[in-house]
Amino acid sequence: MTNPAETLVSRPPVPAAGPAIVLERRDDGVAVIRIDVPGESVNTLRGAFAPELEAALDAIDADPSVRAVVVASGKPDGFVAGADIKELIAATSGYELSELSRRGQAAFSRLAASNKPVVAAIHGACLGGGLELALACHARVASSDEKTRLGLPEVQLGLLPALGGTQRLPRLVGTEAALDLLLTGKQLDARRAQRMGLVDEVVPTPIVLDVAVKFALARTAGPTASRAGSKRKAFAEALLVKNPLGRAVFFEQAKKRTLAKTHGNYPAPERILEVVRLGLSRGLEAGLGAEAAAFGELGQSAEARELMGLFFAQNELKKDPGVAGPNAEPRKLKRIGVLGAGLMGAGVAYVTAVNAKLPVRLKDRDERSLGRGVAHLHELFVERARSRRLSDFERDREAARVTPATTYDGFDGLDLVIEAVFEDLTLKRAVLADVLATGGKNLIFASNTSSLPITKIAEGSVAPERVIGMHYFSPVPKMPLLEVITTERTAPWVTATAVELGKKQGKTVIVVRDGAGFYTSRILGPYLNEASFLLAEGVPVEAIDTALVRFGFPVGPVTLLDEVGIDVGFKVGKILHEAFGERMALPPGVERLVEDERFGKKNGRGFYDYGTKKKDKREVDASVYTVLGVEPKSDAPAPDIVERCVLQFVNEAAYCLGEGILRSARDGDIGAVFGLGFPPFRGGPFRYVDAVGPAEIVRGLERQEKAHGERFRAAPLLLELARKNETFYGKPRPT
C-alpha cells in the first residue's frame, strides 16, 4: 500500500530550475550554505528544499575539513522572506501541511544539532521560515541596513510558524518577548532584534558574511550556543514561565488578552499560545510535534484560507497597472502638488515625501491653515525618525522634500496635483480651474473628495481627461488603501500614472468607476444607515457596536459615525439618497442629531460621552436617546443587528460590481477590508457571500425586505448568482 504522505507531498509544487541550496567550501574551513532560489528575485522556502538542506548537511558531516558553517542568501537584498504561500494554498489536506512542516523541522533540527558551529549571515528580509532557519543556527549576524527585517508574520495569515519557530524563539529570547513577536507578526530592524537577544551582532552590510565566518570559526573552540539573551531575562523567565504555577497564570492572562482582541474569530493566536506552552512544559520534541499538528489544522481553516487569499490579492494588485489598452503608459512623475494642508493633505504630502520620495509643494489658503498643516507634518516626521531611529540629518532630508506655500508659485512645474480642500463642489471646481490654468498641459488633477462625483468636479473644466479621483483614507500614513476613481473621460495614461503614484506612496490601489460614493463610501453608507435605523428603533448604541465588533469589525458602526463625524455622515447620506432614491432613504432622527450640533468626536458631542477620562472604554451619552425621541430597548437580538447591517454592506457591494463601479470582486474585497475594516478573516464582502452562499444571502434580504421595505432589495447580480447556483469567485457552490 502506498503511504498517503508520500503521494501527497512528493508532488512537486513548483518545478525549480536547479538547486535552491548550494554548498560552497572556503579555504578557511568554513562551508557556506547558500540559499538562492533559481529564477526568483526573493527566496521563499518550499517543501522540496528540505532534502536539499539535508544533502548539504550530509556533505558537511562527511567532510572533516569543514570546521564551521555559515548560512547565507545568494540574493543581493534579501535573506529568506518566508515560506512559499502558493505551496501552502495548494495543499489539499491538513495532513499534507503537517507533513511539510515535519520534514522542514527535521532538516532544521539537524542543522541545530550540528556539532560544527552554524552562524546565519542575515541581510534583508528574514521573515517567517527565513527567521526559523536563522533560529536553527547557533548564532546570528545581521546587517544594519533598513532592509533587514526580522519577524514571524504567520499569525497575520491565520497560521503559526511551523519550522520550529514557536519552540526556538521562546528558548532564545524569553517567552514574553517571543509571544510579542508570535502573536502580532511584527517585524524588527536589526538593532531591535539585537536588543531583544534575537541577533548576536549587527554590522554594516558589506561585512556581514565576513563577520559571520569569524563568528563561526571562533566557536569551533568553545560552546556553540548563542551569546544572545541576558541574565535578567533568564531570571524573569524562571519566575514567570519555568515554574508550573507561574506558567499557568502567565498563559491564562495571555489568553485572556488575546481573546479580548480576537473575540474568538482568529484561531491562530490561541493555537500559538497552546503550542508554546506545551513546548515549555513537555520539551522541544513534543513542542515541535504540536506545532506541526497545529499547522495542518490552521492551514486548512477557513480563516487562514481567507487571509492567504487577501495576501495574494494584494500581491496581484501590486502588479496591476489599473488600466488596460492603448495609451495606458504611466508618465514619469517628478514633482507633486498638494492643495489643502488639513488632516488629509498633510498625510498625502507625508506619504509622497517619505515613501514615493518625491518633492511636494503643499499649498493652503492662508498662513494660519498652512502653519497648522506644517506643524502636523512635523509631528509625523519626528515620530517616524523616532520609530525608525533616523538621524536628525536623515529626518531633515526627508522633511525638506515638502515645501509649503500660500500661493500657486511653483505649480507650473508640477506633474500631478492632489486636492484635499474642504468638501465643497464649488470650491473644488474653483481650485481645479486655478490649477489647470497654472500648470502645464500634461498636469494631472486628482481630487481626494470622499463623496462628490469626480464627473461633477470635472464638468466644464478645460481638461476633463486629466481629472481623476484619488481617495485616501484617514489617517493617510497608516491606512493601506487608495481608491482611484476614473470618469468616462479620464485618459488611460492619467489612470495609470495615478495608480503608479499610489503604489509608490505605499498603498494598495483599486481602480473604480465614478458614481455617487464611488465604491467605499457607497457601501459604507447603507451600512451606517442601517445602524441609524436600529438606533431610531431604540436599539441601544452598545448593543449595535458590540454585535459588529464580535462579527469582526475593528469598531462598531456607531463609534465609526462618531469618528467620521455625524454631520459628514449625514451629508454623504443625503448625496447617496439623491443618487439612489428610496433604497437609501435616511432614518428619522439623524437630522435632529446634526441640528443638536452632535458632530461626533471632533466637537466632543456624539453618541458617546467624550467628557469622561476613560479613553478606552467610553460610556454612551444617554441624552442621545432623548434627541432621537426613543426609549432604549433591553431586548435587541445581536444576530438580527448583525444580519441587517452586514446584508446592507454586502448587498451594496454586489450592486457596485453589477453596475461596473468595481472591476472585480477581488477589488471589492480588498477595498472593503483595507479601507473600511471589513473582517479580514472573512475575506471581504464577496468572499463572505460566497462562503454563506448567494441564495442564503438573498433569502436573508427577502426576509428583511418584508420587514423593513425597499432598502433591502437584493442586487440583480446576487439574484442571478442565487438562481444559477454560482458564486462571485466563479466556482459553483457544492450542493
Q: Which residues bind ligand NAI (CB under 6 A)?
A: 339-345, 363-365, 369, 373, 420-423, 427, 431, 448-450, 472-474
Grid cell for residue 70: 555559515
Q: How far is 174 from 115, CA to CA, in rounded Å?
A: 24
Strand, coil or helix: 526: helix
List of residues 6+ apart from 654 with CB closer than 8 A: 685, 686, 689, 714, 715, 717, 718
Q: Shortest approach of ligand NAI to residue 572 CB, angstroms?
A: 9
Q: Choose the catalytic residue: 483, 500, 530, 652.
A: 483
Characterise 142 by phi-psi region: left (phi > 0), alpha (psi -120 to 50), beta (else). Answer: beta
| CA 624 – CA 594 distance, rounded (Å) | 11
Q: Where are the beta strands (DSSP E) in 518-622?
A: none
Rg (CA), the chain: 28
Chain centroid, CA 38 distance in Å: 29
Give backbone dihedrals phi and psi of 35, rounded to 5 degrees, phi first: -100, 120
Would you mind telling me the total number of residues written for the chain in this entry?
A: 735
* b/e sequence 177-213, b meaning 16+ C-beta within 10 Å: bbbebbbebbbbbbebbbebbbbbbbbebeebbebbb
Beta strand pairing call for 416-419 and 444-447 = parallel
CB-wise, 122 or 676, nearer to ligand NAI? 676
* CB closer to ligand NAI, 412 vs 619: 412
For residues 503 and 278, give the distance between their C-alpha atoms in angstroms, rounded to a whole number. 43
Q: Could you give the angle at the alpha carbon of 601 between the alpha carbons of 596 and 604, nearest 5°?
A: 60
Residue 398 beta carbon to ligand NAI: minimum distance, rounded to whole angstroms:
21
Please state the closest distance from residue 408 (CB atom) to ligand NAI, in A.
9
Kindly state the smallest distance separating residue 431's Cβ from ligand NAI, in Å. 5
The DSSP secondary-structure symbol of 534 reads H
Using the minimum distance from each CB to ligand NAI, give the nearer residue, 393 or 422: 422
The nearer residue to ligand NAI, 421 or 722, going by C-beta atoms, is 421
Query: What is the helix (H) or strand (E) element at residue 373, kind and residue range?
Result: helix 367-388
Q: Which of 411, 453, 410, 408 lies closest to 428 in space, CA to CA? A: 453
Residue nearest ligand NAI, CB atom distance: 342
Q: Which is nearer to ligand NAI, 48 or 568 (CB)?
A: 568
As measured in angstroms, the least distance from the Cβ of 383 to ligand NAI is: 19
Nearest-approach distance from CB 569 to ligand NAI, in angstroms: 11
Residue closer to ligand NAI by CB (options 72, 470) is 470
Q: What's the one-letter identity of residue 349?
A: A
483 tagged catalytic: yes
Cβ 564 to ligand NAI shortest distance, Å: 7
324, with CB counted inside 10 A (0-12, 13-18, 19+), is exposed
CB of 407 to ligand NAI, least distance (A): 10
Report the residue number, 360 or 421, with the smaller CB distance to ligand NAI: 421
Closer by beta carbon to ligand NAI, 369 or else 546: 369
DSSP β-ladder status, 360-363 and 402-405: parallel
3-state secondary structure (DSSP) of residue 65: coil
Write out the catalytic residue numbers: 483
